[in-house]
Amino acid sequence: MPWSSAACTVRSEASPRCREPEYAQLIGMQPSPTAPTPSAPAPIVLRSTWSNPPAVPASVLRSSGCPVIFGPGGPQRNLCSPDRRVRPVRISLLTMTTDVWMPFEETEVEGLPAAAEAGLTYRFWDGGPELPADPADCALYVVPYMKSADVVLPPLAEMTSLRVVQTLTAGVDFLEPALASLPPGVQVCNARGVHDASTAELALTLILASLRGVPRFVEGQRTERWHSGFYPALADKSVLLVGYGAIGTAIEDRLAPFECARVARVARSERTTERGTVHALDALPRLLPEADVVVLCTPLTDATRSLVNAGFLARMKDGALLVNVARGPVVDTKALLAELESGRLTAALDVTDPEPLPAGHPLWQAPGVLISPHVGGSSSAYLPRARRLLAAQLRRYASGAPLDNVVLTTS
């Protein structure tokens, strides 16, 4: 049966995956019983830029003169010949890149859409030396967790059919070197919600361990020395959260039972929450002198890189504790070292710059610092939450629904 749009006349061809009425609906056409039967001119090949392919997407179209223009959510309109005359064309479903690369076996993720029904092909890859398939066929790439950029970024340059990059981290800054090589329209999604509980737990652990002298007790146990005395408590302290997304909110949840005098919040822009005001970054000069504990849980962006510089640290009150569960480059390491070595501030760092922190770096031996090796998210809480995220996200992808946690789209 022929089909026509407002501008062009088309006829769908038979496809084992898509019947004519379904295909006509897919490409945004309406039946036109009177449309002429097209001839068969030489075809050209076009590749779509759908941001969210439906369950039976046509990512490669063969056309004979009427390109299909795509935008977010699917086809938008057709462009006929330059002279604007309506010309019969032929559009048929040819091939579809359906590969989904995941660092989990399909059977390990409960709730995934069935591969056959969703038209997907799941490929297991956890950063091993052998790639699971041709990267050019990968449509959705789940970046392996806790693998170096040297391992996980190179395949991106060959993923010419890529539509979605799903990280298993809250931050996506490590992808920046590869973004320029991605096709336009690729959605990059982070793992918001996966690491909230684990990172918030570690933030509280670092705060309590630092205030209550746990590093000194560990050293005392090693040297068989009894370090009794009075130590600071978290109770009655003023805490400032720099970054108030999902992780910042989870940290405040866990601060609630500790009888803090005050919890202040800072984020990119001011807003009001059930707990109170979230201040904009420009409020930091006023808030820093009031805080006993400053917790960094902000994403690494151009605005937050070296946010904690000499001026920031100078505004912190004497004896204050800086806790970093964000990213190492949020802090100017040289400026922090100067404050630690003077004894004016203390710090608890899950992330550092550089990272990993090399042997011999002065931070290792700086007074008043507690260092953990970037383990905020890598706990037993990670796997169940990561699997739930992937199952839900792939169900959305397969159905053509908007994806969650989209932080950027390549241009």
* 3 state DSSP class of 118: helix
CA pair distance 152, 172, nearest whole angstrom:
12
CA atoms within 13 A on the CB side of 13: 14
Active-site pick, 195, 279, 361, 374? 374
* 3 state DSSP class of 364: helix
* 3 state DSSP class of 4: strand
For residue 343, the one-letter residue type is G
274's CB contacts (< 8 A; 6+ apart) are: none
HEC profile for 305-318?
A: CCCECHHHHHHCCC
Active site (annotated) includes residue 279: no
Please list, residue by residue across 222-236, b when 16 or more beta carbons sit within 10 angstroms of its beta carbon and e when fewer do.
eeeeeeeeeebebee
CA pair distance 186, 166, nearest whole angstrom:
10
Taking the CA atoms of residue 59, residue 60, residue 61 and residue 67 in that order, the dihedral angle to the nearest 10 degrees is 80
Q: Closest Cα to residue 316, out of 240, 235, 206, 231? A: 240
Q: Cis check for the bond before 354: say yes or no (omega within 30 of 0).
A: yes
- Tokens describing residue 371: 């260092």
Q: Are 12 and 24 in contact (CB under 8 A)?
A: yes
Dihedral sign from CA coordinates of 194, 163, 137, 113: positive
Strand 30-31 relative to strand 2-4, pairing:
antiparallel
* 3 state DSSP class of 262: strand
β-pair partners for 324: 296, 349
CA pair distance 169, 131, nearest whole angstrom:
22
Strand 293-296 relative to strand 88-93, pairing:
unpaired
CA pair distance 77, 394, nearest whole angstrom:
27
- Tokens describing residue 192: 């918001």
Instruction: Determine phi and psi for 99, rounding to 5 degrees.
Output: -70, 135
Residues forming the active site: 374
